[in-house]
């Protein structure tokens, strides 16, 4: 499977999930106005996982691709059925498309940057890929512990379970899903930050132009301005910055004060 195919599969799977839960997010976040659509991607993936994870943990429902598809179809049917029946409005399509465009751009940017050093090594990454691989391959909840044969995972694992849903639905390898999960977290953090910034300025009565500027500034402050070591090194030597590993590159230096 090529990288482009994997990204396309991942994007389509998460888009189907977002489309299924769009009516619920539109309804639950109605007081946030157009900014609610910044929460669509992360909330929809977590919601789908929770719908399957809870009964899987309680009554041993198998956590499989088939179960996820059934839950997705059910949630989409209920949501869109209520939308039509009760007249829930998907307002401001321009804002929805703007948040979707932001999410996609940030996903692709991070996937491109991660592509220079895609190895899952150093720090806690070996543990993380072991847990993600076990969760994505197992139908049991909790999945088998990769570090202690014969025992279930005795660790907080719902985050791994969440991205196991995306791995199962997109049918990408766990190692590829690991890197795409990082890109998804980056993209989702961007849209949530933009949503928070827009909501705050909207509550203060700012103009539409200022709301947009505030949303963009929130993304910069959260994802880029917290530590400028990476930006500084990239401007000094772009090739060396993107090709370096965690220990001899910007990872460790940018993570430490």
Convert the chain into a string of H (helix), E (strand) and C (coil): CCHHHHHHHHHHHHHHHHHHHHHHHHHHCHHHHHHHHHHHHHHHHHHHHHHHHHHHHHHCCCCCHHHHHHHHHHHHHHHHHHHHHHCCCCCCHHHHHHHHHHHHHHHHHHHHHHCCCCCCCCCCHHHHHHHHHHHHHCCCCCCECCCCCCCECCCCCHHHHHHHHHHHHHCCCHHHHHHHHHHHHHHHHHHHHHHHHHHHHHHCCCCHHHHHHHHHHHHHHHHCCCCCHHHHHHHHCHHHHHHCCCCCCHHHHHHCC
Tens digits of residue pLDDT in 69-128: 999 999 999 988 888 877 666 778 888 999 999 999 999 999 998 888 888 887 788 999
216: in domain: yes
In this prediction, residues 46-62 reach a mean pLDDT of: 93
Residue 198 counted as domain residue: yes
Give strand pairing partners of 152: 144
Count of domains observed in the chain:
1
Q: Which carries the bigger pLDDT value, residue 209 or residue 105?
A: 105
Residue 255 lies in a domain: no
Mean pLDDT of the chain: 88
Q: What is the pLDDT of residue 89?
A: 67
What distances in angstroms separate CA 68 from CA 59, 65, 166, one per listed residue?
Answer: 16, 5, 10
pLDDT of residue 236: 85
**For residue 137, what are its two tokens?**
């391959």
Q: Which domain holds residue 103?
A: 3-226
- According to the model, what pLDDT value does residue 161 have? 95
Q: Is residue 36 part of a domain?
A: yes
Confidence of residue 257 (pLDDT cuts 50, 70, 90): very low
CB atoms within 10 A of CB 61: 16
Residues 1 and 240: their CA atoms lie apart, in Å, by 28
| Cβ 131 vs Cβ 151: under 8 Å | no
Q: For the chain, what percent of residues have pLDDT higher than 70?
A: 93
Q: 85 in a domain, yes or no? A: yes
Determine how many CB atoms are found less than 10 A away from the CB of residue 73.
12
Domain membership flag for residue 196? yes
Q: What is the pTM of this model?
A: 0.88
Residue 61 inside a domain? The answer is: yes
Tens of pLDDT, residue by residue over 1-53, are 788 899 999 999 999 999 999 998 888 888 888 889 999 999 999 999 999 99
Q: Identify whether 241 is part of a domain.
A: no
Task: Give 224-256 pLDDT, tens digit per residue.
Answer: 887 777 778 788 888 777 777 666 666 666 655
Q: What's the pLDDT tens digit per position in 140-159?
A: 999 999 888 889 888 888 99
């Amino acid at each position: 499977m090529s990288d482009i195919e994997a990204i396309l599969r991942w994007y389509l799977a998460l888009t189907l999930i977002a489309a299924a839960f769009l009516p619920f997010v539109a309804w639950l976040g109605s007081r946030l106005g157009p900014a609610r659509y910044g929460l669509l991607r992360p909330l929809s993936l977590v919601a789908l996982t929770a719908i399957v994870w809870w009964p899987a943990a309680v009554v041993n429902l198998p956590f499989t691709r088939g179960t996820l598809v059934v839950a997705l179809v059910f949630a989409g049917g209920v949501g869109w059925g209520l939308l039509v029946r009760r007249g829930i409005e998907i307002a401001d399509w321009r804002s929805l498309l703007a948040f979707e465009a932001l999410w996609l751009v940030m996903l692709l940017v991070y996937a491109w940057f991660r592509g220079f050093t895609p190895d899952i090594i150093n720090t806690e990454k070996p543990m993380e890929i072991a847990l993600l691989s076990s969760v994505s391959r197992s139908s049991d909840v909790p999945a088998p512990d990769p570090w202690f044969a014969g025992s279930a995972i005795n660790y907080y694992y719902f985050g791994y379970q969440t991205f196991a849903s995306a791995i199962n639905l997109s049918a990408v390898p766990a190692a590829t899903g690991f890197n795409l999960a990082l890109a998804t977290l980056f993209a989702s953090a961007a849209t949530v930050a933009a949503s928070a910034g827009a909501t705050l300025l909207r509550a203060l009565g700012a103009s539409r132009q200022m709301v947009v500027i505030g949303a963009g500034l929130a993304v910069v402050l959260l994802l880029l301005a917290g530590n400028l070591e990476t930006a500084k090194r990239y401007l000094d030597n772009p090739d060396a910055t993107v090709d370096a590993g965690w220990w001899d590159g910007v990872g460790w230096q940018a993570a430490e004060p």
